[in-house]
Structure 1
Amino acid sequence: MTATSTADVARLPLMLGELRLPTIARLWPDITARADKEGWPDARLLSALAELELADRARRRIERHLAEARLPSGKTLATCDFAAVPTLSKAHVMALAAGTEWLERGVNLLMFGPPGSGKSHACAGLGQALVENGYRVLFTRTSELVQRLQLARQAMQLEQAIAKLDRFDLLILDDFSYVARDQAETSVLFELIAARYERKSLLITANQPFGEWGRLFPSPAMTVAAIDRLVHHATIFEMNVESYRRRSAASRKAVKQFDPVTDPPS
């Protein structure tokens, strides 16, 4: 190797750092050694390095987006018990997980059911699948987001705060029914719904059906307007089944009480 080529190699890590190509900077010695050994054409070597950089960049992007999504830990579609919720079609949810057309049209998803019916698990699993497919998602309790928007309104920055949420393809509002009936709270929530209408998707979980939403908003007109915007382009899931948590607790209790010595199988 000539002095010039040695100098070029010595400068390579610095240049790759300037170009923000950390994967190539880390792997190029091994890849180029293999290319020399196997006699790769220059184009194949360049293509291999570019593919490794792009793959690692995609992995890092997904990691960042999963972190910002604030999804509940361990709640994935793989661990979702679809058999326990017959009204929730696994095939339908998996199709939604691919994203594409429904997110581009700003279609909403609404999940209704009693506490413990698996709503939060299903939407968290769907959210993770969407992030892994390249979309940006935010999971939040509705009451927490409302508090943040109220603070933004007090600082005269509500419009900017709602606009910042546009970076998320899907906004998951969990426990929608638990928002207190307060003029300030429900008005910022209504403004969020109106701002995303027909542009960006919402996924809402609620324990109460539409007929009970009158207690969430201070006026019938606001209630009707909010529901109208949510259901105009929406898929609705009714998950009125026995509490998943209650069934799981009962199963654990039955297993604990069973003694293979004193209670042998019949």
Structure 2
Amino acid sequence: MNAPAHDNGRLALMLNELRLPTIGRLWPEFVERSDKEGWPATRLLGALLEHELAERAKRRIERHRTESHLDPTKTLATFDFGMVPMVSKAHVTALATGESWLEKGATILLFGPPGGGKSHLGSALGHALIDAGYRVLFTRTAELVQKLQAARQSLQLPSALAKLDRFDLIILDDLSYARKDQAETSVLFELIAERYERKSLLITANQPFSGWNDVFPDPGMTIAAIDRLVHHSTIFELNVESYRRRKASDKQSARRRQLPNDNCEGGTTTMAS
């Protein structure tokens, strides 16, 4: 029995119905090449499917990067490891694959003063993990806490926490700025408890654990939260001078070097006798 013939318009409609846009774009070129070079049908089909899958993976990564809210400039390529000698580049590179810790819901904790590179390093790991096929969410801790408290008030907190499960990693930036004088900070503990040993967190904080009593409503909750976070954790302490302050100082020094000598005019100096 002869295979049914299809005109180009009909093929385009079927590929669109099947949601195969890459094959729809490439098949005329590949068919022409296949006819010229005598490809077997399996090679033609395989080549088209490989391109479709590659484009689909690329689009998926682009979607995941958009939903992550990560700063596009804060990547491993732009992170200056020379500024934070206490952080091992090899260790960070190993963590960037995700394989050794995301599967067991482990935690990464980044401590250090403001401007030390914590947010940049966390974002950089987030970008690398998206490239590796994982889903990541970057959020200011206070912003997520407010959203979860709003969900609690509308009796939707379990649903809101469940929706966050689609992210393999949540990056909670600036945890120290969430304060216990806001009644809603208790939902932060519920998020930590909900993801414990199931889904991973990466937390940046200006204060060490000893200062976390300013975050949670009571000491018992503070201890319980810390206990869960450190159980399966990697801790980095970025105790360095503010990167932003150093950059500003370097720029100011460069400007000073470029200023002409106040005692010079036109490149010459006239000495009074």
Give TM-score, length-normalised by structure 1: 0.94
- What is the one-letter code of the residue matched to 2:147? R
Distance 1:129 1:95 in 2: 11
- What is the one-letter code of the residue matched to 1:168? F
The superposition leaves residues 159-188 of structure 1 with CA deviations (integer Å, 9 ceiling, x where unpaired) of 110110000000000000000213632210
Give TM-score, length-normalised by structure 2: 0.92
Task: Note the C-alpha offset of 1:10.
Answer: 2.9
Distance 1:60 1:9 in 2: 26
Task: Note the C-alpha offset of 1:259.
Answer: 2.4
The residue matched to 1:258 in structure 2 has which SS? helix
Query: Equivalent residue for 2:35?
Result: 36
Query: Equivalent residue for 2:134?
Result: 135
Structure 2 unaligned residues grouped into runs of 5+: 263-273
The superposition leaves residues 62-83 of structure 1 with CA deviations (integer Å, 9 ceiling, x where unpaired) of 0000000000131110000001
The residue correspondences of 1:140-179 to structure 2 (distance < 5 A) are 140-179=139-178
Task: Note the C-alpha offset of 1:262.
Answer: 4.6
- What is the one-letter code of the residue matched to 2:80? D
The superposition leaves residues 191-235 of structure 1 with CA deviations (integer Å, 9 ceiling, x where unpaired) of 000000000000000000000111111211111001001101100
Task: Note the C-alpha offset of 1:51.
Answer: 0.3
The residue correspondences of 1:181-200 to structure 2 (distance < 5 A) are 181-182=180-181, 184-200=183-199
Distance 2:81 2:184 in 1: 34
The residue matched to 2:220 in structure 1 has which SS? helix
Task: Note the C-alpha offset of 1:257.
Answer: 1.1
C-alpha RMSD of the superposition = 1.5
Q: Does 1:216 align with 2:215?
A: yes
- What is the one-letter code of the residue matched to 1:200? K
Q: Does 1:114 align with 2:113?
A: yes
Query: Equivalent residue for 1:246?
Result: 245
The residue matched to 2:101 in structure 1 has which SS? helix
Distance 2:182 2:260 in 1: 62
Distance 2:239 2:221 in 1: 26
The residue matched to 1:50 in structure 2 has which SS? helix
Distance 1:176 1:10 in 2: 56
Percent sequence identity over matched residues?
A: 66
Query: Equivalent residue for 1:20?
Result: 19
Q: How many residues are aligned here? A: 260
Task: Note the C-alpha offset of 1:58.
Answer: 0.3
Task: Note the C-alpha offset of 1:253.
Answer: 0.8
Structure with bigger gyration radius: 2
- 2:115·2:243 contact (CA, 8 Å) conserved in 1? yes
Query: Equivalent residue for 1:231?
Result: 230
The residue matched to 1:78 in structure 2 has which SS? helix
Task: Note the C-alpha offset of 1:108.
Answer: 0.1
- 1:177·1:207 contact (CA, 8 Å) conserved in 2? yes
Query: Equivalent residue for 1:74?
Result: 73
Query: Equivalent residue for 1:46?
Result: 45
- What is the one-letter code of the residue matched to 1:148? K
